[in-house]
């Protein structure tokens, strides 16, 4: 390592730890934090502050995934652990900024920065990177990563209605399985895939309990906490996360019984949708809740969407289960990578109804063009429903926080005093 | 308002009109392009098939429709028409294409089926936008890699599916005979364009590079391709005969090639800027110019469409300059070819705002150019004219640097 590289590494260490600590502190300082949330925050702290690798029960390889469309069941089944590596670090972003095009999205810049700085065990210890090609930046990231690391590139069909599209994605999953077998030596079998399905089904059950609780009691927990718990899932062994979520659900049920609320009655209920919110970039959720709003629900891939849909197995064979995974990963998905994504609007309408949403914040990470394209149609739809919507474009730095704060505050006041009774 | 599009086209044509050494045949190409963009023509033009994107093989389009319209974008005026429909960061090519399709001035889509290759995010979202407005769109979903057997198989299957769907809509069955004829015609067009280009390279002073490229690409606006072929052959003949009679004037301008985002008529800003800065644009490596320079297929008189498309799958994707691939190998290979065979002094890396996929290739392009000792100049722009003077200053500095380098090399050689 040259002296310049050592200095850069040192700067990265100090700054990235400071940002992660700051975000964790802000979350811990928020009122009405359930005690059962702590394990999730500890996981994030272990990964981003203590720089540890993801904890696994045995010495098995980890597989880095760059999108929720990579089925974790396959990775568990073949004897590895999935970790979601979409980057949210401001410091890694600034390193990635030097080696990527100016207009690349910050998430991809952060990933490139992590890869370049070679300082995060959770990134460096991955035996395989799985990159579904969902947008231009991910496509180019896949090419860039494959020159450095063992990489599985998954072609996500842009259309998903026809059987042929699904057939092609099933083919991609088979190819991915062969690559997994290359690193673990374990082929896909009915037994191991069934066991992996059970792992994620348990996690999904706990998540559905959590979602159900939030639907029935929208004020029971702050959305920032929910997002932290979902982010922690990225680096946690599934059964461990399930147990943590079960404990959180138990505590929330007790809170619900006591009739206690995490926020005041008149706090505007906000839905966050758009580009993913990846720890430590918790800027937007924190701003919403620090400014007196309640992040009641989110429609982002790092939030509930990541584990929301269970696979529907019609044929109990390995092939049948893979098809169920291919279906689950694409058909109900509301990612704007798909050419026709009308279902995202239906999903948002459903969320608005379920969580009695009063306003929508549309999060666009600079350069995330696919989300930006869908803003106009959503704005039109929200206009019909009479739900105010605001587009917030941001980056991975703190420079725009005060401007965003003013906008978010004004938006919340508009809802609070504007007579929106949705 | 469509007269504004016509005025934009006319302005460029007027600028290019005098940029040749008096070849009579050129007038025909001007008339053809001008007529295509004429107000009346656009109002009454209702193609059956519109192909949006350069990644769909013209052979396949021609095999299901005699006169498909290749919609390229390129107009500043049509980008204005789509302003309210697309996000701020959408690239100008998609903006312009969207403006051509969705506007209040003419209706290209009245009877059309649109084939849209999903080679980037803009195209992908454009497909949804067009469908939401009731337009019949067939999407071409390209695999992100092209050099594996499975991806070639996927490419061939997708191309065949799209051709089949289009043939069903247009009522023209995809047959080997039609595909063979279309491939033969495409090969003929490429052959004539190649000899035309080679001749103009031998005497760079015979016409400006912008005019040369417009003539080569005017095939996309020709009403009758056979007639177009005849006129280009005649023009090539005129140039050849001029070269035999007169010794070509030596041209001491530095030679550059442009690499990256496509230059699409009527947006001739970049070629004109290069010309004004005293640089000779020897060749362009972009998705559009490479359409006319693809490797030839081995055609057999009898067979099945599948076998020919499979052959295409082995040849075409690898030679394409397309943002669809994780690594744009076609761009790098084509660039290396030019660096080997042409006396290239510099490379202008052209990035249209919003075409991020090309920006990702820049480090590789710079690395390869460094191996050949050729400097690279990155130029980012859009279809607006506001940045022309700034670009001119930068370009002139680049040209000055190239001249000094070339002078230095001459001195060392002596």
Residue A122 pairs in a beta bridge with: none
Instruction: Name the residue among A103, A341, A375 with its Cβ closest to that of B359.
Output: A103
Tell me whether residues A103 and B125 touch, CB distance under 8 A.
no
- Compute the count of residue pairs across chains A and B with CB atoms less than 8 Å apart: 107
pLDDT (tens digit, 9 = 90+) per residue, A281-331? 999 999 999 999 999 999 999 888 878 888 988 888 999 999 999 999 999
Identify the pLDDT of residue A264. Answer: 79
Quick one: pLDDT at residue B407?
81
pLDDT at B320: 86
Residues of chain A with Cβ-Cβ distance to B132 below 8 Å are 342, 377
Which residues in chain A have their CB less than 8 angstroms from residue B150's CB?
171, 175
Q: Give chain A positions within 8 Å (CB) of B161.
A: 164
pLDDT of residue A154: 96
Of A142, A337, A369, which has the smallest distance from its Cβ to B326's Cβ? A142
Those residues whose C-beta lies under 8 Å from the C-beta of residue B348, and which sit 6 or more positions away, are B256, B257, B258, B259, B270, B274, B279, B376, B377, B379, B395, B398
Return the pLDDT at B20: 83
Domain boundaries, chain B: 3-22+43-177
- Residue B6: predicted pLDDT: 87
Nearest to B360 among A140, A373, A375 (CB): A140
**B148 vs A contacts (CB less than 8 Å):** none
- B66 phi and psi angles, rounded to 5 deg: -70, -35
The per-residue pLDDT for range B101-129, each reduced to its tens digit, is 999 999 999 999 999 999 999 999 999 99
B→A contacts (Cβ < 8 Å), by residue, are 85-90, 118, 120-122, 124-125, 127-129, 131-132, 139, 141, 143-145, 150-151, 154, 157, 161, 323, 325-327, 354, 356-357, 359-360, 362-363
Asked whether residue A420 carries a pLDDT value surpassing 70, the answer given is no
pLDDT the model gives residue A65 = 97
Q: What is the pLDDT of residues B220-278, one digit of tens each?
A: 999 999 999 999 999 999 999 988 888 777 778 999 999 999 999 999 999 999 999 99
Give the pLDDT score at A231: 96
CATH class of B3-22+43-177: alpha beta
The token duo for A228 is 């932290």
Kindly tell me if the per-residue pLDDT of A419 is higher than 70: no
Structure tokens at B274: 């290069």
* Banded pLDDT at B294 (limits 50, 70, 90): confident
CB atoms within 10 A of CB B414: 5
Q: What percent of chain B has pLDDT over 70?
A: 99
**Could you tell me which residues are beta bridge partners of residue B115?**
B51, B138
**Contact (CB, 8 A) for B335 and B368:** yes
Phi-psi region of A139 (alpha: psi -120 to 50; beta: other; left: phi over 0): alpha
B contacts of A145 (beta carbons < 8 Å):
none
Whether residue A373 and residue B87 make contact (CB cut-off 8 A), yes or no, is yes
Which of A133, A140, A158 lies nearest to residue B139, judging by beta carbons? A158
Backbone angles phi, psi at B142, to 5 degrees: -85, 140
Q: Of A362, A367, A353, which is closest to residue A407 (Cα–Cα)?
A: A362
What is the reported pLDDT for B53? Answer: 85
- Kind and range of the H or E run holding B12: helix B2-17
On the question of pLDDT at A421 being above 70, the answer is no
Cα end-to-end distance, chain A, whole Å:
59
Residues of B in contact with A342 (CB under 8 A): 132
Closest CB to A103: pick one of B154, B323, B356. Answer: B356
Distance CA B190, CA B59 (A): 12
Sign (positive/negative) of CA torsion A368, A374, A380, A381? negative
Mean residue pLDDT across chain A: 94
User: Which residues of chain A have a CB within 8 Å of the CB of B327?
Assistant: 143, 146-147
Looking at the predicted structure, is the pLDDT value of residue A422 above 50? no
Q: Interface pTM (ipTM) of the complex?
A: 0.93
User: What integer pLDDT is reported at residue A339 of this predicted model?
Assistant: 92
Cβ separation of B323 and A340 shorter than 8 Å? no
Per-residue confidence (pLDDT) for residue A14, from 0 to 100: 93
Return the higher-pLDDT residue of B409 and B98. Answer: B98
Specify the pLDDT at position B295. Answer: 81
> Tens digits of per-residue pLDDT, A152-163?
999 999 988 888
How does residue B210 score in pLDDT terms, banded at 50, 70 and 90? Answer: very high
Q: What is the pLDDT of residues B35-57, one digit of tens each?
A: 999 999 999 999 999 999 889 99
Distance CA A193, CA B319 (A): 41
Q: What is the pLDDT of residues B70-96, one digit of tens each?
A: 999 999 999 999 999 999 999 999 999
What is the per-residue pLDDT for B409? 75
Could you read off the pLDDT of B25-34 as tens digits, one per residue? Answer: 999 999 999 9
Is there a contact between B144 and A153 if contact means CB atoms under 8 Å apart? Answer: yes
């Amino acid at each position: 390592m040259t002296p310049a590289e050592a200095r850069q590494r040192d700067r990265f260490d100090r700054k990235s730890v400071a940002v992660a600590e700051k975000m964790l502190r802000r979350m811990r300082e928020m009122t009405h934090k359930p005690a059962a949330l702590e394990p999730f925050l500890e996981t994030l702290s272990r990964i981003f502050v203590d720089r540890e690798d993801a904890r696994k029960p045995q010495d098995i390889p980890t597989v880095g995934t760059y999108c929720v469309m990579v089925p974790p069941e396959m990775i568990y089944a073949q004897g590895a652990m999935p970790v979601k590596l979409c980057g949210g670090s401001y410091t890694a972003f600034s390193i990635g900024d030097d080696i990527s095009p100016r207009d690349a999205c910050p998430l991809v810049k952060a990933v490139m920065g992590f890869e370049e700085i070679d300082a995060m065990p959770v990134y460096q210890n991955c035996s395989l990177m799985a990159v579904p090609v969902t947008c231009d930046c991910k496509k180019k990231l896949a090419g860039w990563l494959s020159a450095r690391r063992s990489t599985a590139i998954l072609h996500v069909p842009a259309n998903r209605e026809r059987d042929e599209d699904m057939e092609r994605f099933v083919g991609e999953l088979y190819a991915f399985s062969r690559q997994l077998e290359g690193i673990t030596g374990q082929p896909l079998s009915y037994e191991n895939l069934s066991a992996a399905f059970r792992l994620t089904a348990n996690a999904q059950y706990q998540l559905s309990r959590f979602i159900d609780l939030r639907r029935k009691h929208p004020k029971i927990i702050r959305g920032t906490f929910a997002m932290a718990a979902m982010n922690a899932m990225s680096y946690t062994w599934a059964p461990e996360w399930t147990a943590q979520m079960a404990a959180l659900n138990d505590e929330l049920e007790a809170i619900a019984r006591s009739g206690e609320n995490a926020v005041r009655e008149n706090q505007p209920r906000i839905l966050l949708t758009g580009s993913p919110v990846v720890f430590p970039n918790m800027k937007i959720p924190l701003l919403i809740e620090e400014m007196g709003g309640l992040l009641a629900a989110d429609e982002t891939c790092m939030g509930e969407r990541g584990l929301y849909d269970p696979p529907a197995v019609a044929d109990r064979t390995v092939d049948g289960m893979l098809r169920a995974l291919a279906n689950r990963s694409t058909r109900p998905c509301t990612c704007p990578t798909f050419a026709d994504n009308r279902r995202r609007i239906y999903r948002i309408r459903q969320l608005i109804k379920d969580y009695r949403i009063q306003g929508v914040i549309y999060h666009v990470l600079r350069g995330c063009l696919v989300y930006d394209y869908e803003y106009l149609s959503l704005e039109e739809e929200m206009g019909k429903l009479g739900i105010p919507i605001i587009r917030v474009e941001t980056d991975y730095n703190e420079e725009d926080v005060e401007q965003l704060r003013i906008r978010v505050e004004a938006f919340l006041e508009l809802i609070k005093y504007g007579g929106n009774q949705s | 308002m469509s007269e504004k599009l016509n005025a934009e086209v006319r302005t460029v044509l007027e600028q290019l009109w005098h940029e040749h050494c008096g070849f009579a045949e050129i007038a025909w190409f001007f008339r053809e392009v001008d007529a295509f963009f004429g107000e009346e023509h656009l109002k009454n033009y209702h193609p059956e098939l519109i192909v949006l994107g350069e990644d769909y093989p013209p052979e396949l389009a021609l095999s299901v429709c005699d006169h498909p319209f290749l919609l390229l974008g390129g107009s500043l005026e049509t980008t204005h028409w789509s302003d309210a429909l697309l996000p701020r960061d959408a690239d100008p090519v998609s903006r312009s294409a969207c403006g051509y399709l969705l506007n209040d001035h003419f209706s290209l889509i009245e009877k059309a089926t649109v084939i849209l290759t999903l080679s980037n995010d803009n195209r992908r979202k454009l497909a949804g936008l067009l469908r939401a407005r009731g337009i019949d769109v067939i999407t071409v979903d390209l695999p992100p890699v092209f050099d594996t057997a499975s991806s070639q198989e996927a490419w061939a299957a997708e191309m065949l599916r799209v051709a089949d769907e289009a043939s069903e809509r247009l009522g023209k069955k995809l047959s080997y005979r039609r595909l063979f004829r279309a491939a033969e015609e495409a090969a003929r067009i490429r052959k004539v364009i190649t000899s035309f280009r080679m001749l103009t390279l031998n005497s760079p002073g015979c016409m400006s590079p912008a005019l040369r490229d417009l003539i080569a690409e005017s095939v996309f606006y020709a009403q009758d391709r056979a007639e177009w072929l005849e006129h280009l052959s005649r023009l090539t003949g005129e140039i050849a005969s001029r070269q035999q009679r007169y010794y070509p004037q030596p041209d001491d301008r530095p030679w550059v090639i442009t690499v990256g985002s496509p230059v699409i008529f009527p947006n001739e800003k970049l070629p004109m800027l290069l010309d004004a800065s005293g640089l000779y644009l020897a060749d362009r490596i972009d998705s559009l110019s490479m359409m006319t320079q693809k490797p030839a297929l081995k055609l057999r008189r009898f067979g099945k469409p599948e076998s020919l498309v499979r052959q295409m799958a082995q040849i075409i994707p690898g030679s394409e300059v397309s943002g669809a691939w994780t690594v744009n190998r076609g761009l790098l290979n084509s660039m290396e070819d030019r660096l080997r065979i042409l006396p290239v002094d510099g490379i202008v890396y052209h990035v249209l705002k919003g075409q991020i996929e090309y920006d990702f290739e820049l480090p590789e392009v710079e690395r390869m150019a460094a191996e050949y000792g050729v400097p690279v100049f990155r130029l980012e722009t859009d279809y607006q004219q506001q940045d022309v003077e700034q670009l001119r200053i930068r370009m002139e500095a680049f040209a000055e640097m190239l001249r000094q380098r070339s002078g230095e090399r001459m001195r060392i050689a002596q």
